Every structure is written in C-alpha cells, then in structure tokens.
Chain A
Amino acid sequence: MATRVTTTSVAKIGVPDEAHEHRKPDSLTSRALRRLRRDKLTLVALAVLSLLVLFALLAPAFETWLNISYTDVQTDKTFLPYGSFPHILGTDDLGRDHFARLLYGARVSLSIAALAAGLSLVIGVALGMVTGYYGGIIDDLNNWFIATLTSIPSLFLLLIVSALFIRTSTGSGVVPLILVLGLLGWTGTARLVRGETLSLRERDYVVAARSMGAGAARIMFIHILPNLFSVIIISLMIDIGSLILVEAALSFLGLGVKPPEPTWGNMLQAAREYFTRGVHLVIMPGVLIFTTVLCLYVIGDGLRDAFDPTSKD
C-alpha cells in the first residue's frame, strides 16, 4: 500500500545499472542506501531538512551576527515588514525579531516532535515485540488498550489531555507536551512491530535459535530487533512529520506550548489577530511547518521504497 512520490519515474530515467545483472548478494541495508543515493527527490528533501536544522542550531549565532534577539521587546518597533534591516523578516506585535523567533520556534517545534516520536517509538517497539513474541493474555490486553486508544479521535484525546495537564502545568509546557504526545502516539508503531515480530518469530533462524536454548530476551534483541530497523526508521520519519503538525495544531488552539516560548504553532495563533497589520506573521510559520513536514514525509516515503524488498532496483 505504500507508494512514494515521483521517485519511481526518477529512477526510470536514471541510467540502467550494469551491475544489476550480476550483482553480489548484499544486505538489505546497503542495497537500500544505494537506491537512496539515486533518489534525487529524497536527497533534496534531506538537504532542505538538514539546512533547516542547521539554521535552528545556529539560532544564537544569528542573533549575535545580526544583533537581534528573539526576546527583546521594542514597543516602538512593532509590526515592521519584511526587509527592515536588521529584522530581515520583520518584527511581531511586541517588536520582537520575527526571524529569530522563527529559528527558536524551529528548535522547540522540532525537538518536541523528535523527542515525542522517539518516546513513542521506544514504547511501541518494546510493546510490539513483547506482545508479538509472547501472544496470549498480554497480547489481548494490549490489543484492547490499543483499540480503546484508537477509538478516541486522536485530536479529541489530545485536546482533553493537554487541557488537563499542559494548561495546568507551570512552565512553558514543552516537557509535558513531549510526554503527552509520546505516551499517546505509540499505537501505530506497536501494531506494525507486533505484526513483523509475529512473522519473524516463525522464521527458521529464530526457531533454530530457540531450539538451541536461546532466551526470549536474547532472541528479541539479537534476532528480531535488527530486522525491524527499516520499519522503525520509516515510521520515525513519518511520526516526526505528523507530530510537528499535531504540535502546531495544539499550540494554534492555545493548548500546546505557552507563550512567550515560541513555536511555529503558537506564533501562528498570536498572528491570527493581526491579519491586517502584519500578514508576514501569518505566512512564514505556516510555510516552515509545511516545508518541514513535506521533507519528512518525502524522506519517509523514499526510505520505504528503498527498503522495500519487492520493489525492483
């Protein structure tokens, strides 16, 4: 069911691989890497994303270099438009530099999404492996819990949880948001890993290892986990992308990260009232969210194709 964007056609145009005919048997991973190197779209997405991350990491350097600050309030310089040097992207309603705030917003938005995705990945992989491997009552309980969680529309669940736990917490709400998103987002990964584990545990080498007396933990870590690598990396990319969207939506509704800590979502929320005074405040955060998520989705798709054993080189 997985499709990816445009890459098949790109690959078709590429020069036929001479080595293809008499290729040495090699590992799935190196084959995937080779495919990725030819996948221009994924590479472009990767480059754009890296650039974004680099900019975010260098935010303090930009502040010194341009002599701007993401917190400095200037009540006499509000709503400056694009290109008002040194405020290259203008200023917001309190005269704070928009460019600097976007960079710091990127730091917050990206780290929330990445850390939450990481957390749900750990939970999802652990639960998926254990339930897939053992089955039985643990599996039933887990399935019931997953069915319960997925039967609540995810945004509804996030709304109520963030209203109860993020709005009510002191601090900017970044840590609770990571926890909430991480703790609620693992069901997809768990299901995927469970399915993979179910099929892997019947493979000959696993059965052989088991018959030689290998313990469950050993089998899971040595024999099953490495085979889940592609599944994990793909769902990580897709998850980070959708978590950026979710974080932005929550912050846009005023239920995510609290001001003055900037994220792209809460910057959009603040800008909403200033439609007519500073359109630039509405445009840029949205463009950045869109670009980042697009890159992550394209990379995820590209990885999926690269790792797909049934697709041809």
Chain B
Amino acid sequence: MVKYTLRRLLQAIPTFFGITLLTYMLMLAAPGDPVSLLTFGPSTTQAQRDALAAKLGVNDPAVIQYLRWLTGDDWMRRDTDGDGLSDQCIILACDADGDGVNEQPGDRRGIIRGDFGRSFTKPRNVVDMILERVPATFELGFISLAVGVLVGVPIGILAAVRRGSWFDSVTRIGAVVFSSIPIFWLGLILILLFGRVLFPDVSPNPFMMGGQCPPVLVGGCPPIQGRLVYLVLPVFVLASQGVAVFSRYMRASMLDVMQQDYMRTAYSKGLSGRTTWFKHGARNALIPIATFLGPSITGVLGGAVLTETIFSWPGLGRLGFESVVQQDFPVVMAFVIIGSLATILGYLLSDILYALIDPRIRFN
C-alpha cells in the first residue's frame, strides 16, 4: 500500500513539471509587456521603466527566466562576503548590466519552495494572497461536493432499483437538464428569484447580497452554523452539477451491478430485494464512483470561478478571475499551479481509494 502510494506520488512529478512548463511557456508567448502595464501613467520615466524591467528580469533568456521562476535565484547569485552585493554567481552574471558594480544577491526561492514572487497589482507576496483565499473555496467546494455525493448517489441507486418508473424518468431528465444549464445563468436567475421576487423585504438579505459572512466590526466570521443562509445559493448552484453527474453515474453503475451473477445468486438465496440491493448491490456499485473524486475536484474548482464571482464568495476562484482581468501574472500563475496541485492530489486520492476498496486491485 505504501509502495503503491509512493509510486503514484512519483508518477505525479513529471505531471507537475509539465504543468509548470506549460503555464510558463504560455506566459512567455503572450503579447503585451508587464513593464508598460505597471508603469502606466504620465509621470513615469524611461529610467524607472528600465529599472523595473531589470528587477523583473524580463530581458533574460526564456530558459533562465523559467529556471529562476521554478527554482529561485538565491543559489544563482550569492553574497559570501556580506557586502550586500553578489560575488559567487552561476548561470547569471554577477554584473549583468555591465556597470562595474555587481548586482544584489538573488532573493527568490522559486515556486518549488513556495515562493511565487510578488503581485503586479498589490505590494504583497503572491503566496499570502493565495493562501488566505483557500479556506473559503475549500468550504464551498467541500460542502458542494458532499451535497453532490449525498444527494446524487441515493437518487442514482433508487432510480436504478426502480428502473422505468416515473422516479427513474425524472432522475434521468433532471440529470441532463442540470448538466445543460449554464451555472452562471442559474446563479443570476436564483439571485433574481430569491433576492427580488421571493424575499424583497428581508433585511439583511443574503440571497441577494452574497458573501460568506455578515459584516462585523471585530470578532471575525461566525462559525459555519451561524451563517448557513449564506451558503444556500452558491452550494445549490455548485452542487446541482454534482448531483446530476453522480446520480447519472450511480444509476449506470448500479444497473451494471444488478446484472452481475452474484446479485442473482443473492436474490435466489431468498434474501429480500431491499437487502440485496442495498447491502450487496450499492456497495459494489459505489466502487467506480471513487474514481470520480479527481475529476470532481476539477469541476468544483472550475465552477468555483463562476459561482464565487456571482455570489461574492471570498475564495480562490474569484481571486483568480480578478487577477486574470487585471493581468496580475504572478497571481494567475500561482492560481493555476495551486489548482493543478489540488487536482493531482484529487486523482491520487481517488486512485488510492479505489485500490483500497476494490479487492481486485493488487498493490504491485
């Protein structure tokens, strides 16, 4: 088991490497120059622009820029005699601009050591900006995923057991309908419905307003049971897709299991229908659902961008979207890398989970 996990972890390394390479190549290939964006305004001089370009290292060869972004430059330019200037340099020249004075030592640690640099739009470290947004997205994503599973799976089982009934038809129609609704539009319509039509006079009206918690002067956000009403609409929107997907797949998986020989055997042994279906059938039908965890995380993260933007949810998706619009490249890069890491972890977890619950898989 440990060996299997380790092997899967090792397999994730080239994937992660590929992701960093791909995103960085995209970034370099993009037109537009961050320096001109950062220095827009009538009062900026060419000297200031040049200084900024040197600071960002935008004129170095692409490979070096990538290497610096990935692994940092504190090992490329080092200061051994403590005069504040670099004197031991590899890859980069100590005196890059040729003015006879060595450059300052490198202070970037690179993304593999958790340093995503500083934001273009705010005087802050990117990692801090990302990390403070993770809990809100985790909260929304986890609850939506849980609702998706807890509602979708029983519905799928019931639909399979009552195959051909009206419940089955409604389930299957509902699954396609909810996969076809654009979730941002669903969000807008729900705000319209709950905020303006159903409860126009409720104040405060969290359906209309969005957000994660009510405004308070001190004391922070109340615990989750104190602000469930804020969760209703965003979770509904985000979970609706999950319910659709899980019910659909659970139904198919259950139908598959019900045709297996051991089910017929159990049935013929005289066990009651309910016992057979739920004790033997559902348990086995759940196994393939485990493989769904990875893709689900991707779906939830993608949906979070739209849901958080519509419902003012203070999460990662909204930050990512806002950074994309403001062309805050360091934040956007971190956003993509962190999202991908979560997905890789999701796939890893679902593989291990699958291996754990499916006795047919051997760990070697």
Query: Are B324 and A286 in contact, CB atoms less than 8 angstroms apart?
Result: no
**Of A129-137, A158-166, A189-197, the one with at least 4 CB within 8 A of chain B:** A158-166
- Name which of A32-40, A51-59, A86-94, A140-148 contacts chain B: A140-148
Answer yes or no: A275 CB below 8 A from chain B CBs. yes
Task: Using CB atoms, name the residue of chain B closest to A163.
Answer: B324
Q: Provide a sorted-by-A list of 27 A–B residue pairs whose CB atoms are within 8 angstroms.
A: A1-B249, A3-B172, A5-B175, A9-B168, A148-B15, A148-B19, A151-B19, A152-B336, A153-B302, A156-B339, A160-B332, A161-B26, A163-B332, A168-B32, A249-B306, A252-B185, A253-B305, A253-B321, A254-B325, A279-B192, A282-B188, A285-B185, A286-B185, A289-B182, A293-B180, A294-B177, A297-B180
Q: How far is the CB of A251 from chain B (nearest CB, A)?
A: 10
Q: How far is the CB of B5 from chain A (nearest CB, A)?
A: 17
Asked if B23 CB lies within 8 Å of chain A CBs, one says yes
B26→A164 contact, CB < 8 A: yes
Contact at A6–B173, with CB atoms within 8 Å?
yes
- Of the candidates B14, B249, B302, the one having the most CB atoms from chain A within 10 angstroms of its own CB is B302
How far is A279 from B235 in the complex, measured between Cα atoms in Å? 24
Partner of A156, one of B15, B256, B301: B301
A159 and B176 in contact (CB under 8 A), knowing A144-B18, A151-B343?
Answer: no
Tell whether, in the assembled complex, residue A268 and residue B343 are in contact, meaning their CB atoms are under 8 Å apart. Answer: no
Q: Which residues of B approach A to under 8 Å, CB–CB?
A: 14-16, 18-19, 22-23, 26-27, 29-32, 164, 168-169, 172-173, 175-177, 179-185, 188-189, 192, 196, 248-249, 251-253, 255-256, 288, 297-298, 301-303, 305-306, 309, 320-321, 324-325, 327, 332, 335-336, 339-340, 342-344, 347
A residues in contact with B324, CB < 8 Å = 159-160, 163, 255
- Determine whether A185 belongs to the interface, using a CB cutoff of 8 Å to chain B: no
Residues of A within 8 A of B182 (CB): 245, 248-249, 252, 268, 286, 289-290, 293
- The docked-state distance in angstroms from the alpha carbon of A290 to that of B23 is 32
| Inter-chain contact A5/B30, CB cutoff 8 Å | no
Contacts of A5 in B (CB 8 A): 172-173, 175-176
Q: With a CB–CB cut-off of 8 A, which chain B residues contact A297?
A: 176, 179-180
Closest A residue, CB atoms, query B255? A3
Nearest-neighbor residue (CB-CB) of B300 within chain A: A153
Chain B residues closer than 8 Å to A252, beta-carbon distance: 182, 184-185, 306
C-alpha gap A8/B248 in the complex (Å):
15
Question: Residue on B with the closest CB to A1?
Answer: B252
Interchain pairs with CB closer than 8 A, number:
157
B30 contacts across to A, CB distance below 8 A: 164-165, 168
B-chain residues with CB within 8 Å of residue A168 when the two chains form the complex: 30-32
**A residues near B196, Cβ cutoff 8 Å:** 275
Residues of B within 8 A of A145 (CB): 18
Question: Chain B CB within 10 Å — which of A9, A163, A245, A249 has the most?
Answer: A163
**Bound Cα distance A253, B305 (Å):** 9
Query: Which chain A residues numbered 277 to 296 have a C-beta less than 8 Å away from chain B?
Result: 279, 282-283, 285-286, 289-290, 293-294
In the complex the two chains form, is A152's CB within 8 Å of B26's CB? no
Please give, as numbers and ranges, the residues of chain A lying within 8 Å of B252 by CB-CB distance: 1-3
In the complex, are the beta carbons of B26 and A289 less than 8 A apart?
no
Is there contact, CB below 8 Å, between B335 and A289? no
Whole-angstrom distance between the alpha carbons of A252 and B325 in the complex? 13
Determine whether the beta carbon of B26 is less than 8 Å from that of A154: no
- Residues on B with C-beta less than 8 A from A301 are 176
Q: Does A241 contact B (CB under 8 A)?
A: yes
- B27 and A152 form a contact (CB under 8 A): no
Q: Smallest distance from the beta carbon of B17 to chain A beta carbons, Å? A: 8
Question: Which residues of A (251-276) have their CB < 8 Å from a CB of B?
Answer: 252-255, 268, 272, 275
Contact of B18 among A147, A153, A254 (CB under 8 A): A147
Using known A-B contacts A145-B18, A147-B15, A298-B176, determine if residue A156 contacts B185 with beta carbons closer than 8 Å. no
Q: A163-B332, A294-B177 are in contact. Are A155 and B27 (CB under 8 A)?
A: no
Query: What is the CA–CA distance of A206 and B312 in the complex, to the nearest angstrom?
Result: 57
Q: Which of A3, A8, A169 has the most CB of B within 10 A?
A: A3
Contact B340 A153 (CB under 8 A): yes
| B343 with A153: CB separation less than 8 A | yes
The answer to whether A253 and B306 touch across the interface, beta carbons within 8 angstroms, is: yes
Query: Given A160-B23, A290-B180, 7 more contacts at CB 8 Å?
Result: A1-B249, A147-B18, A154-B298, A164-B29, A241-B180, A248-B185, A298-B176
User: In the complex, A286→B175 CA distance in Å?
Assistant: 18
Assembled-state Cα–Cα distance A155/B316 (Å): 13
Give chain A residues whose Cβ lies under 8 Å from the Cβ of B15. 144, 147-148, 151
Cα separation A152 to B344 with both chains bound (whole Å): 8
CB distance from B161 to the nearest CB of A (A): 14
Nearest Cβ distance between residue B190 and chain A, in whole angstroms? 12
B301 and A153 contact, CB distance less than 8 A: yes
Residue A4 lies at the interface, judged by CB distance under 8 Å to chain B: yes
Q: Is the CB of B19 within 8 A of A155?
A: no
Complex Cα distance A147/B14, Å?
9
Chain B residues whose C-beta falls within 8 Å of the C-beta of A255 in the assembled complex: 324-325
A279 to B253 alpha-carbon distance, docked (Å): 42
Bound-state Cα–Cα, A157 to B248, Å: 27
CB distance from B167 to the nearest CB of A (A): 12
Within the assembled complex, what's the spacing in Å between the Cα atoms of A270 and B115?
38
Contacting residues, chain A, for B256 (C-beta < 8 A): 1
Q: Are B185 and A290 in contact (CB under 8 A)?
A: yes
Which residue of the partner chain A has the closest CB to B302? A155
* Nearest CB in chain B to that of A161: its residue: B26
**A302 smallest CB distance to B (angstroms):** 11
Min C-beta distance of B361 to chain A, whole Å: 19
Chain B residues lying within 8 Å of A283, measured Cβ to Cβ, are: 189
**Cβ-defined contact, B192 with A268, below 8 A:** no
| Per-residue interface assignment for chain A, residues 1 to 25, with 1 indicating a CB less than 8 Å from any chain B CB and 0 otherwise | 1111110110010000000000000
Q: A282-B192, A294-B177 are in contact. Are A253 and B327 (CB under 8 A)?
A: no
**Residue picked from B252, B255, B298, B324, most chain A C-beta under 10 Å:** B324
A290 B181 Cβ-Cβ under 8 A: yes
Task: Give the distance to chain A from B165, nearest Cβ to Cβ, in Å.
Answer: 9
